[in-house]
Amino acid sequence: MPPITSALQILTLFSICLPLANSIGFNYPAVFNFGDSNSDTGGLVAGVAEPLNPPHGQIYFQNPSGRFCDGRLIIDFLMDAMDLPFLNSYLDSIGAPSFRKGCNFAAAGSTILRATASSVSPFSFAIQVAQFLRFKARVLELQAKTKKIRKYLPEEDYFEKGLYMFDIGQNDLAGAFYSKSYDQILVLIPTILSEFETGIQELYHQGARNFWIHNTGPLGCLTQNIAKFGTDPSKLDELGCVSLHNQASKLLNLQLHALCKKLQGQYLDANVTYVDIFTIKSNLIANYSRYGFEHPIMACCGHGGPPLNYNSRVACGRTKVVNGSVVTAKGCKDSTEYVSWDGIHYTEAANQYVSSQILTGKYSDPPFSDNMPFLLKLKF
């Protein structure tokens, strides 16, 4: 082997083991977000006109804010850290919302793969991307026509300089477990990611240059999945999470990470950041007491009491007749003690913890340095 090759190999090895921390400035004029309930700030509620009831929003917004949470989501904390206002939903037209600093296309229940008649959300990833294209076209058209509404809309160059965030794919896996075998789900993963790549390519061709991609969390640790698929203890791992669900999440994430690497190599004039939410959330669930939580799995807002306080027939804040008796899924006394808000979504306290970990820069590829001034803004 010629010496030059081994020198190169050593260099390559070195850069794999010691990735240089990028100092991402976070000077983005706007954010365009795509996703599901993890980052939905009102899309599904506006789009399908099915309201959320209290106690949603109780800890921060004081009323249901369109978020499946007692308060703020990860995206809200990230916007705050970037000194940008909370994102308004593309679908929410009431009250002349400002889209100056960005727009949120996320809708709860959305999948990467096309929605079917039984989907919770019709706004799957390709639709969200199409909505973005219309948004951009309309903004450019209006910017050229009238100065009056300029302050509510992004400037033309925000589309290139803005940050494009993604948190989607969890529902593709979660839904598949209801009708498919594990082997069939594994076969489906490349199809899911190929559809995701198509959307990313479309946005790149439209001028997007900064991509921020969250991987999927430990699906098997969601109360909903433990209640449905974890009744047999042999199906659970040492954390009490459904093993196969978490294995599927890990496999999706491996392939998503590989896709991000491929895009990093392909789009030399762009930034593609992959963020490992799975590791952050697993650590939170495993070591919850160290981070100030008392309940890693049991839902705060639900019905049925310990150990899960989850009833798939009664969603948080709803009242229903179950087995002849009236049942309400109520909130717990102190949601800051809980990781799980409603059995499917995380509490604001958990979201704040996850955000603080994202902002250390240690869980992204490429990593970024953690000595940025905006970190001081995130009190934790």
- What residue ranges bind ligand NAG (CB under 6 A)? 24-25, 209-210, 269-271, 282-283, 286-287, 311, 322-323
DSSP 12: H
In angstroms, give the least distance from the CB of 48 to ligand NAG. 26
Cα separation values, 86 from 32, 68, 140, 256, Å: 11, 15, 22, 27
For ligand NAG, the closer of residues 193 and 316 by Cβ is 316
How far apart are CB 161 and ligand NAG at their closest, in Å? Answer: 6
114 closest CA partner among 168, 163, 49, 164? 168
Question: Looking at beta carbons only, is 25 or 292 nearer to ligand NAG?
Answer: 25
Residue 23: CB minimum distance to ligand NAG, A: 7
Confirm if 90 and 43 have CB atoms less than 8 A apart. yes
Q: What are phi and psi of 299, to 5 degrees?
A: -75, 140
Active-site residue identified among 40, 70, 172, 342: 342
How far is the C-alpha of 380 from the C-alpha of 375, rounded, in Å?
10
Neighbours of 138 (CB within 10 A): 11
Q: Quick one: angle between helices 182-205 and 125-145, nearest 10?
A: 10
Q: Spot the catalytic one: 37, 89, 121, 364.
A: 37
In the complex with ligand NAG, the residue whose CB is nearer, 210 or 340, is 210
**CA distances (Å), origin 369, targets 25, 271, 360, 374, 380:** 10, 15, 7, 12, 18
Q: 210-214 and 163-167: which strand pairing?
A: parallel
What is the number of H-type helices and E-type strands within the chain? 11, 10
Whether 345 is catalytic: yes
**End-to-end alpha-carbon separation of the chain, Å?**
53
Is the CB of 26 or the CB of 152 nearer to ligand NAG?
A: 26
Task: Please state, as a whole number, how many other Cβ atoms lie within 10 Å of the Cβ of residue 206.
Answer: 15
Please state the closest distance from residue 56 (CB atom) to ligand NAG, in A.
Answer: 22
Q: Any idea what the Cα angle at residue 243 is, between residues 189 and 365, rounded to 5°?
A: 55
Instruction: Give yes or no: 37 in active site.
Output: yes
125 vs 204 by CB, closer to ligand NAG: 204
Kindly state the smallest distance separating residue 353's Cβ from ligand NAG, in Å. 13
Measured from the CB atom, is 180 or 250 closer to ligand NAG? 250
- CA 264 to chain CA centroid, Å, is 21
Quote the least distance from Cβ 209 to ligand NAG, whole Å: 4
Active site residues: 37, 342, 345
